[in-house]
Structure 1
Amino acid sequence: MAHQNKRLNFTVDENTELLKFLLKVMSNRSRNSVKSILTRGQVTVDEHMETKHNYPLKPGQTVSVLKNNEAKKETVLVGMSILYEDRDIIVINKDAGLLSIATEKERNLTAHHQLMEYVQREHPANRIFIVHRLDKDTSGVMMFAKSEKTKRKLQDNWKKLVKERTYVALVEGELKQNKGTIKSWLKETKTHYMFSSSLKNNGQLAITHFKKIQGNKDYSLVEMQLETGRKNQIRVHMRDLGHPVVGDKKYGSKENVIGRLGLHAKILSFYHPRTNQFMLFRADVPKLFMKKAK
C-alpha cells in the first residue's frame, strides 16, 4: 500500500456503488476525471484494488484514492509494492484485485505490464518474465524473473529451489480439524472449472498441508503449505473439506463478507537462482481476515 499521505481516505456511510460514492466525495472533479482515476487502478476498498464502477459499497468500508500527482510519479506501481529487487529477480506484494498477467479483456493494469514498464525506464531492452502466478483476487508475495534464463532455471528447478509457499485463507464455517493434509488429483473442465478426483493418477497430483490458526463458529483462519502448486489448488481443496474460501463463489462460497477472495500468499522462500543464497519474503495477513476469524 502507498503511504497514507499519498492517499485520500473516505469512510462509506451508506449502501451505494463505488463510482457514485467517488463522485460525491470528490465533487470538485469532473465525472470523466473520477472515472479515469477508477480505471487506472488508483482506488482501493478495504485494502483491495477495485476498478468496477458499480462495485457495491457498505457502511463502514474504507475507500482510499491514490492522488493523481502520486500516480503520475514514475515509480508508483498500482495495486502492488516491490519487496525486493536485484539483477535477476523482482519480488512483489500484490493487492487482491490486480491481475498477474494480461487477459483478453485487460492488457495494461497487470503486475507483469507495470513491472515491464518499470524496468524499461532504466533501459528499453529490459524485460520481465512470469515465473508463477497468483489469481487476480489473491494477494501476497509473488516473484518475477528479469531474464529468460533465470525464468527457465526457476521453473525447471522449482521443486528444488522453492522451499516454502505458505498461504493463509479465511474459510467459511468452523474448521474442526486443527491440522491435516489433503491429497487429490485435479482435473479441469472445458469451462476452466477445477475438480478433485480420488482415483490415483486421474489428473494432476495436488497436496496441501493445513493448520488452523484461529476461528469462531462462522469463520476459520487457516494456514496452508503447498507441496504442489496446481491451478486453484487451495480453493478446490477447501471446498472438498466443506469449508470454501470466503468470497469464492466459483467453489462454493455463499457470501462475500470481506469484499474480496479470502486468500493470501503469506510466505515465499527459495534459493536464489544465481547465488544460491536462501531468501524469505513475507506479506502480512490482511487485517480483515484476522478480524473475521477472531
Structure 2
Amino acid sequence: MAKDNNPSNQLNEVIEIQEESELLKFLTARFPHKKRPLLKAVLSGGQIKVNDQPTTQFNQVLKKGDEMVINWAKPAKKVKLSHLNIIYEDQHLIVIEKAEGLLSVASLKEKKKTAIQILKDHLAKVDPKAKVYVVHRLEREVSGILIFAKSPEVQEKLQDSWEKYVTDRKYIGVVEGRVKKEADTLRNFLVSNKNNQVFVTDTPEGATETITHFKLIKQSNAFSLLEFRLESGFKNQIRVQMQHYGHPVTGDKKYNSRKNPLSRVALHASMIEMNHPVTGKLLKFELVAPASFRNLVAKG
C-alpha cells in the first residue's frame, strides 16, 4: 500500500509491495503516465531504494512486503535544450540558464520559441500533466539564471514575497568606457512609461527607488567588466542606472549604447541565492559569465 501516491507532495514516495514483480515492470505498471526513459533514468540514477538499499537493477525481484522508496525530486544533471539548460529541478521548481535572444514568456509576436514553452514541451515528454509557471523574467537580450515554478501556489509565494525568499542576486556585465571607481552604489528613482521605456526621475512620487551595487572586475580603455549586486528589482534596472551613470551596458541600443561588438546586450544573470519556498532549504545557483565578456575587455 502506498503511503503517498502523489510525488508532487513530497521528495520521496514510499510504496509497500503487494505482489512479486520485477522492478522495471512494476514501475511501468504503477506509473503508466510516466515515460519509460524517465523511469529508467530514475532507476539508473540511484533514486530508488528497496528495503533501504539503493538499487539500479531493472530486473531485481520485488517480493510482497518489500518497501520501495522513490526519490522523484533528486536534482537533475544539467539538461541541454534549445537555447537553455536546466540546472536544477525538483517537484516545486525548475531553474534554467537562458541564452541571450530567447524570450522568457510569450509575446504578441512570439508564442512558441520562448523559455516557458520549451520547458513545457520538454516536461510533457516525461509527464503530460506537468505544468510550468512564470516567477520572474529576463529580457530577451540578457542571458543567465531564470526560475520557474511547477505549481500556481509556489508561483504565488515567490512573486508575492520575492525579497523574503531571494536573499542575493548578482549580474556580470560589460559597460562602455572606464568607470572611475572600483566600487560604487547607484540609488535612483525609476519609472516606466506607456511605451515600456524605463528612465530615471528626480521625483520620488510615483517612482520606485532602486539600489544597485557594483564592483570592478577588469577594465581596458574602451570597456569595464563589472559585477552587480541588486538590492531591489525593477525592469531594466541595471541598464537604466548604468546609462544614467554615463556607462551604458555594451550592446544596449535601447539605453544609448554606441557599440555592439558582441551582437548582444552584455549582461548576464550569474547568481541567485534563495530559500526554497516549500522546504526552506538554502539554494544557490551560480553560472560563469560568457567568456566573450572577458575577451572583449582584454582586447579593448
- Give the TM-score taking structure 1 as reference length: 0.73
2:115 equivalent in structure 1: 111
Report deviation, 1:288.
Answer: 0.7
2:135 equivalent in structure 1: 131
Aligned partners of 2:105 and 2:213: how far apart in 1? 27
State the percentage of identical aligned residues: 40
- For 1:219-258, what aligned pairs fall within 5 Å after superposition? 219-258=223-262
Aligned partners of 1:166 and 1:123: how far apart in 2? 33
Q: Deviations along 1:195-227, whole A, 9 cap, x unmatched?
A: 011223441221111111110110000111111
Aligned partners of 2:292 and 2:81: how far apart in 1? 23
Q: Which secondary structure state, in structure 1, belongs to the residue aligned with residue 125 of structure 2? A: helix
- Which of 167, 173, 181 is 2:171 aligned to? 167
Contact between 1:185 and 1:202, CA under 8 Å: does it hold in 2?
Answer: no
Aligned partners of 1:90 and 1:124: how far apart in 2? 16
- Which of 283, 287, 294 is 2:287 aligned to? 283
Taking a change above 3 Å as real, the CA distance of residues 76 and 170 of structure 1, as seen in their structure-2 partners, is: closer
Report deviation, 1:76.
Answer: 5.5
The amino acid across from 1:77 in the alignment is L
Coordinate RMSD, CA, aligned: 1.2
- Is 1:86 the equivalent of 2:111? no
Q: Deviations along 1:149-183, whole A, 9 cap, x unmatched?
A: 01011112211110111001100000111111111
- For 1:131-210, what aligned pairs fall within 5 Å after superposition? 131-210=135-214
- Which of 190, 206, 220 is 1:216 aligned to? 220
Report deviation, 1:276.
Answer: 0.5
Contact between 2:212 and 2:232, CA under 8 Å: does it hold in 1?
Answer: yes
Report deviation, 1:141.
Answer: 0.7
Report deviation, 1:88.
Answer: 0.3
Aligned partners of 1:288 and 1:183: how far apart in 2? 29
2:273 equivalent in structure 1: 269
Aligned partners of 1:198 and 1:210: how far apart in 2? 22
Contact between 2:80 and 2:86, CA under 8 Å: does it hold in 1?
Answer: no
The amino acid across from 1:289 in the alignment is F
Contact between 2:212 and 2:238, CA under 8 Å: does it hold in 1?
Answer: yes
Aligned partners of 2:206 and 2:200: how far apart in 1? 9
Contact between 1:102 and 1:110, CA under 8 Å: does it hold in 2?
Answer: yes
Contact between 1:184 and 1:207, CA under 8 Å: does it hold in 2?
Answer: yes
Instruction: Return 5+ residue gaps in structure 2 as ranges.
Output: 1-78
Aligned partners of 1:182 and 1:144: how far apart in 2? 29
Aligned partners of 2:99 and 2:143: how far apart in 1? 5
Larger radius of gyration: 2
Report deviation, 1:119.
Answer: 1.8
Q: Which secondary structure state, in structure 2, belongs to the residue aligned with residue 169 of structure 1? A: strand
Aligned partners of 1:251 and 1:148: how far apart in 2? 34
- For 1:62-101, what aligned pairs fall within 5 Å after superposition? 77-101=81-105
Aligned partners of 2:297 and 2:148: how far apart in 1? 32
Aligned partners of 2:152 and 2:270: how far apart in 1? 26
How many aligned positions are there?
Answer: 220
Instruction: Return 5+ residue gaps in structure 1 as ranges.
Output: 1-74
1:33 equivalent in structure 2: none
Q: Which secondary structure state, in structure 1, belongs to the residue aligned with residue 288 of structure 2? A: coil
Contact between 2:144 and 2:268, CA under 8 Å: does it hold in 1?
Answer: yes
The amino acid across from 2:172 in the alignment is V
- Give the TM-score taking structure 2 as reference length: 0.71
